[in-house]
Amino acid sequence: MSLRRFACTLLLSGLAVPALAADCPTLLQGELPRLRAKDSIDLCQFAGKPLVVVNTASFCGFTPQFKGLEALYQRYKGQGLEVLGVPSDDFRQEADDSEKTATVCYVNYGVTFTMSEPQVVTGAEAIALFKGLAEQSKAPRWNFSKYVVDRQGKVLASFSSLTKPDDPQLIEAVERAIASQP
């Protein structure tokens, strides 16, 4: 390869990488292992889409909210909504075995939205996604904290565990996220 061609290739590849990164908001840069699967979740797949992120736990009093989260996902997925569940044992209510976590999500509650393997979602060891959510709103104070993210990767609203997935304020935030421009 000639020096000129090599330099041109380097220049073009250097320009292409930031362009791709620019299409993916900082909040969504990174990967998470998918629950009970061999592949990973590229968070950039959610770029340009309305998103609800929720930290979950299999053995929490709020675990039945999986049913409402699935209903929310089914209601709005045709309009582009994505839901990302991130199990966590930060509050000591997640199974030690991800097979049990998967059973709770997929078998007990029929979850079809994207779920990751258990992650740290609070404190200094929190994954980048939850650090970003906390910077834009607040860190989860308990399981089933919900974050509504618009198409640009900005948190529009966050809700505590006490807010059910069919709460009118949560629905309104989801509809605003759906209406947001990419």
Q: What is the sign of the dihedral through the CA atoms of 143, 131, 158 and 107? A: negative
Whether the predicted pLDDT of 19 surpasses 80: no
- What mean pLDDT, rounded, does the chain reach? 91
**Predicted pLDDT of residue 182:** 83
Percent of the chain with pLDDT over 90: 86
Query: Could you state, in order of their start, the residue ranges of all structural domains in the chain?
Result: 25-179
CA 133, distance to chain mean position in Å, is 10
* pLDDT tens digits along 113-149: 999 999 999 999 999 999 999 999 999 999 999 999 9
Reported pTM: 0.88
Q: Are strands 155-159 and 146-149 parallel, antiparallel or unpaired?
A: antiparallel
Burial of 91: CB neighbours in 10 Å, binned 0-12, 13-18, 19+: middle
CA 143, distance to chain mean position in Å, is 14
- From residue 125, alpha-carbon distances to 120, 121, 122, 161 in Å are 6, 8, 7, 21
- What is the average pLDDT across 155-166? 98
CATH architecture of the region 25-179 = 3-Layer(aba) Sandwich (3.40)
DSSP labels, 3-72? HHHHHHHHHHHHHHHHHHHHHS-GGG-SEEEBTTSSSEEEGGGGTTS-EEEEEE-TTSTTTTHHHHHHHH
Catalytic residue numbers read 60
178: left (phi over 0), alpha (psi -120 to 50) or beta: alpha
Does residue 159 sit in helix, strand or coil? strand
Whether the predicted pLDDT of 13 surpasses 80: no
* pLDDT tens digits along 20-70: 455 899 999 999 999 999 999 999 999 999 999 999 999 999 999 999 999
Percent of the chain with pLDDT over 70: 88
